[in-house]
């Protein structure tokens, strides 16, 4: 290489680095609203020229809000129904408690673009051992339509059973639509979308990263788990379709989890979420009685769907969580596999404890993403100092997600308490008002707590110095985790 060529390419790289840094900093100053995350990205852009702007382009910019508005505007979305004065059918001798519950219900009704539904029934399913056979049974019984969305869907093991049953449903004349997140298809070989297509099932990847421009959205994943059969029966929660969930089969890497079978009027909201995402992937509109039949009451649970994602639903879930924490008067119980809440939710948890609310948080002792577990432990001291109680569950890894308030409110679905879930991923939760359901879920948590260890200040202070340094280093990356 000649002297001229060497200097030419040096100048090109230097110019690209300067221009990229300036553009990234301008975008940060004008568009990035989370000051902590903005500070992290600013430091990365300034101190790692060229690499920093590239990482910000790939991981830090959200380009989906406008496109989300566009594709959903064409499917007659009920954006805001009037919020009734009394959204919940609550009758209580405690007028103060009744008023508090109605206020939270009205708040969630305003936060969500759905409205409260009455008369639902939810059944708790433990691990893949209970959930997967029940889901396969529902698919076998389908007569009109099946919609299925999953973050991870393996083509082998229990996933192969799903491929077979979905294919048989198509042969029976059932309309079947399957959507799998592109990143989630890479957890097994062969990719399940190819296996489904070969079996005659209409299947699509969500936001496939094939073209260069798709790299910009590589970090925005569809984390929702939805199965709706004949528009009447739904399954949702946090469970992926993979062999590791079949704990009784003793897989190499077992995963504990909870999933839910849902019937009643809120199934239409779950179906709605799938059809919106399907329209985004394929431009096909799923509507009419085939997908949305008339639904009647099947139980006593009041429920509302809460949709969150890096589009026009940006940060809806953190707002709902904050509203629930603010409304708590007696107890807050959280199970999450990844505990990295933002500063606002940490402050809300601390204030709950200050007000005398019992706050219990359960998270795995050995995380399947160790870096996340290391960073999470740096958040413990501030919470412990205010009276929050933190427990770590022993292996195998627990992927369950629950958020319980005052023995009556239950939040369940796909959302983790981490930046990726609360800001980057497409998520779906149900917020349920039902004392009996909450009692059963609290019993599930009590069982897990009995097999866990409580974390204390002394344990954290006596940890080896190298572990504390490692954890402190991991904390620097919380905005990107």
For 377-419, how does the pLDDT look when each residue is reduced to its tens digit (9 = 90+)? 999 999 999 999 999 999 999 999 999 999 999 999 999 999 8
> In whole angstroms, how far apart are CA 177 and each of 146, 201, 287, 291, 383?
6, 7, 13, 11, 44
State the DSSP H helix or E strand holding residue 40, giving kind and residue range, or none if neither: helix 35-47
Q: Where along the chain do its domains lie?
A: 3-61, 118-301, 316-480
Q: Which residues of the chain have pLDDT under 70?
A: 1-10, 12-14, 16-21, 24-25, 27-28, 30-37, 40-41, 47, 50, 52-86, 90-97, 209-219, 312, 480-481
Indicate the fold that domain 118-301 takes in CATH. Endonuclease; Chain A (3.30.870)
1 CB burial (10 A radius; 0-12, 13-18, 19+): exposed
Q: Note the pTM of the prediction, 2 decimals.
A: 0.85
The pLDDT, as a whole number, for residue 91 is 52
Tokens of 300: 């006593």
Residue 479 confidence (pLDDT): 73
Q: Quote the DSSP letter at residue 83.
A: P
For 9, how many CA atoms within 13 A lie in the half-sphere containing its CB?
5
User: What is the spatial distance between Cα 311 and Cα 330, in angstroms, rounded to a whole number?
Assistant: 34
Return the pLDDT at 66.
40
Q: What's the confidence (pLDDT) of residue 439? A: 97
Question: Domain 316-480 maps to which CATH number in 3.40.50.150, 3.40.630.30, 3.30.1380.20, 3.30.870.10?
Answer: 3.30.870.10
pLDDT value of residue 76: 46
Is the fold of 118-301 the same as that of 316-480? yes
Instruction: Give the DSSP letter of residue 222.
Output: B
Q: What is the DSSP letter of 408?
A: T
Place of tokens 């936060």: 111
| Tens of pLDDT, residues 343-364 | 999 999 999 999 999 999 999 9
Asked if 333 and 448 count as a contact pair (C-beta separation under 8 A), the reply is: no
Phi, psi of 94 (to 5 degrees): -90, 95
Q: What one-character DSSP code corresponds to residue 199?
A: T
Phi/psi at 311 (5° precision): -125, -135
Distance separating alpha carbons of residues 139 and 159, to the nearest angstrom: 13
Residue 64 burial class via C-beta count within 10 angstroms: exposed 0-12, middle 13-18, buried 19 and up:
buried
């Amino acid at each position: 290489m000649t002297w001229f060529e060497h200097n030419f390419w040096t100048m090109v790289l230097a110019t690209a680095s300067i221009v990229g840094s300036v553009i990234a900093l301008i975008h940060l100053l004008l568009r990035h609203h989370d000051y902590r995350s903005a500070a992290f990205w600013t430091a990365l852009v300034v101190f790692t020229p060229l690499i920093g702007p590239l990482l910000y382009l790939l991981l830090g910019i959200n380009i989906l809000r406008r496109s989300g508005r566009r594709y959903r505007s064409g499917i007659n979305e009920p954006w805001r129904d009037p919020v009734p004065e009394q959204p919940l059918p609550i009758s209580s001798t405690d007028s103060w408690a009744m008023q508090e519950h109605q206020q939270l219900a009205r708040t969630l009704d305003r936060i969500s673009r759905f409205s409260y539904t009455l008369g639902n029934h939810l059944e708790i399913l433990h691990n893949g051992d209970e959930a997967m056979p029940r889901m396969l049974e529902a698919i076998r019984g389908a007569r009109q339509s099946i919609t299925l969305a999953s973050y991870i869907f393996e083509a082998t093991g229990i996933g192969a059973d799903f491929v077979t049953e979905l294919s048989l449903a198509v042969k029976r004349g059932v309309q079947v639509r399957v959507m799998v997140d592109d990143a989630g298809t890479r957890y097994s070989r062969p990719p399940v979308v190819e296996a489904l297509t070969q079996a005659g099932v209409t299947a699509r990847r969500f936001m496939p990263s094939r073209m260069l421009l798709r790299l910009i959205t590589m970090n925005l994943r569809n984390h929702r788990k939805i199965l709706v059969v004949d528009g009447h029966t739904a399954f949702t929660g946090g469970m992926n379709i993979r062999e590791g969930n079949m704990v009784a089969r003793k897989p190499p890497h077992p995963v504990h989890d909870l999933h839910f079978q849902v019937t009643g009027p809120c199934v239409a909201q779950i179906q709605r979420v799938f059809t919106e995402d399907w329209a985004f992937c394929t431009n096909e509109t799923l509507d009419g009685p085939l997908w949305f039949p008339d639904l009647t009451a099947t139980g006593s649970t009041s429920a509302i769907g809460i949709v969150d994602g890096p589009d026009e639903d940006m940060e809806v879930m953190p707002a709902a969580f904050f509203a629930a924490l603010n409304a708590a008067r007696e107890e807050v119980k959280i199970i999450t596999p990844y505990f990295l809440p933002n500063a606002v939710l940490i402050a809300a948890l601390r204030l709950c404890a200050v007000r005398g609310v019992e706050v219990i948080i359960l998270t795995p002792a050995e995380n399947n993403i160790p870096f996340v577990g290391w960073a999470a432990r740096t958040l413990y001291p501030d919470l412990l100092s205010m009276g929050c109680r933190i427990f770590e569950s022993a292996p195998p890894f627990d992927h369950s997600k629950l958020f319980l308030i005052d023995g009556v409110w239950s939040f369940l679905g796909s959302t983790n308490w981490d930046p990726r879930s609360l800001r980057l991923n497409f998520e779906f939760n149900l917020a349920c008002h039902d004392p009996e359901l909450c009692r059963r879920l609290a019993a599930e948590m009590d069982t897990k707590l009995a097999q866990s260890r409580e974390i204390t200040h002394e344990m954290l202070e006596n940890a080896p110095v190298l572990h504390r340094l490692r954890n402190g280093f991991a904390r620097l990356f919380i905005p990107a985790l």
